[in-house]
Amino acid sequence: TWTMLNIVEEQVEAIRAQVGEGRAICALSGGVDSAVAAAIVQRAIGDRLTCVYVDHGMMRLGETEQVRRDFEEVFDTLDVVDASEQFLGALEGITDPEEKRKIIGREFIRTFEAAEVRVFGDVAGGATAYLVQGTLYPDVVESGGGAGTSNIKSHHNVGGLPDDLQFELVEPLRTLFKDEVRAVGEQLGLPSTMVWRHPFPGPGLGIRIIGEVTRERLDILREADAIAREELTRAGLDRDIWQFPVVLLADVRSVGVQGDHRTYGHPVVLRPVTSEDAMTADWARLPYAVLERISTRITNEVREINRVTVDITSKPPGTIEWE
Ligand code: XMP
């Protein structure tokens, strides 16, 4: 942890040098990377950092409340935006995975831009605005060596912002791997729900519903997902598993029987994986007893689901998510 402490101190110095008296904004996703990046920046520049958390309505059960509690504990300047109407409205009728991602990305940028206008709208011309990003070393390598400032261009023709406002990235985690980010997070005293949270994709449950995303389907998936996560935690396996997506095959139905009733419900897919960095992954050999409890509980407790399956595909050839 000496090294982790050094990393934090080094980064705090570097950020003070870079940002000077400027202001910064950070989009918090709820994940550990953006949270740790923002916490380091806050150490450096205090309340000249504004954190924005966008609730797109596709988070897991209780997650936005948890994220809000954790963040309010850590960040002085937090802007929680409830944009679920906007996101779910824009997704109506959309089934194609790439289209879903594009729409979610677009709505996110719109929401974030509005936050930027709130934060930077009154900045005098010629000033620099800083965007904090939780880019890790594997992301740097994967994108060919440099996020730099170029990849943010597309989202800065924003009405309401001074024309000559320059945007610059602040990326305090660029040399770190995930396990080091977690160590830094612990060093900084961040809540363990934040530090040990499994990775969760930006588009959230929107890409775990195969088919159109609707409020009703989100509710069904939320219930099943909460059971799976609860049983994983109860079995003490959270830290052995990289991620545990639960996927709702919303357009598929199969016949089942419960008591003396015929059922005609939807299947869910359990997708527990182990991984080092999400570039490759293996399906996790969860104990049968844990799988059994999850299956029994989901089919008993979630009326619309009558079948539970397990995905035993590694990555490659599968990806971790289904969309
Ligand atoms: P795949 O499915 O490609 O996922 O094996 C690799 C890792 O990336 C996460 N993921 C995303 N994260 N926005 C994100 O922030 C996204 O659009 C997105 N898609 C996938 C996925 O959960 C896994 O950890």
Q: Please list the residues that pair with 23 across neighbouring strands.
A: 129
**pLDDT score for 203:** 96
pLDDT, tens only, 14-61: 999 999 999 999 999 999 999 999 999 999 999 999 999 999 999 999
CA geometry: angle at 280 spanning 274 and 285, to 5°?
25
What is the interface pTM, i.e. ipTM, of the complex?
Answer: 0.99
Which run of H or E residues covers position 297? Answer: helix 288-301
The three-state secondary structure class of 190 is coil
Surface-to-core class of residue 214, CB atoms within 10 Å of its CB (0-12 exposed, 13-18 middle, 19+ buried):
middle
**Nearest one of 42, 45, 68, 69 to 55, comparing CA atoms:** 68
Give the mutation target among 107, 205, 320, 322 for probing the ligand 1 site: most ligand atoms within 8 A of CB. 320
Beta carbon of 241 within 6 Å of any ligand 1 atom: no
Integer CA distances (angstroms), 84 to 111, 198, 218, 245, in order: 11, 22, 12, 21
**pLDDT score for 166:** 86
Is 46 marked within a binding site?
no
- Nearest residue (by CA) to ligand 1, atom 20, is 201
What's the rounded Cα separation, in Å, for the pair 8 and 14? Answer: 10
Beta carbon of 113 within 6 Å of any ligand 1 atom: no
Domains of the chain: 2-195 (3.40.50.620), 208-310 (3.30.300.10)
pLDDT, tens only, 54-111: 999 999 999 999 999 999 999 999 999 999 999 999 999 999 999 999 999 999 999 9
Share of the chain above pLDDT 70, in %: 95
Distance 5 CA to ligand 1 centre (A): 29
Distance 218 CA to ligand 1 centre (A): 19
* Residue owning tokens 């923002």: 38
Ligand 1 nearest atom to the CA of residue 29, by list position: 15
**Nearest one of 71, 61, 1 to 30, comparing CA atoms:** 71
Beta carbon of 134 within 6 Å of any ligand 1 atom: no
Q: Provide the phi-psi class of 261: left if phi over 0, else alpha when psi is between -120 and 50, else beta.
A: beta
What's the rounded Cα separation, in Å, for the pair 55 and 298? Answer: 26
Which run of H or E residues covers position 23? Answer: strand 23-28
pLDDT, tens only, 221-272: 999 999 999 999 999 999 999 999 999 999 999 999 998 999 999 999 999 9
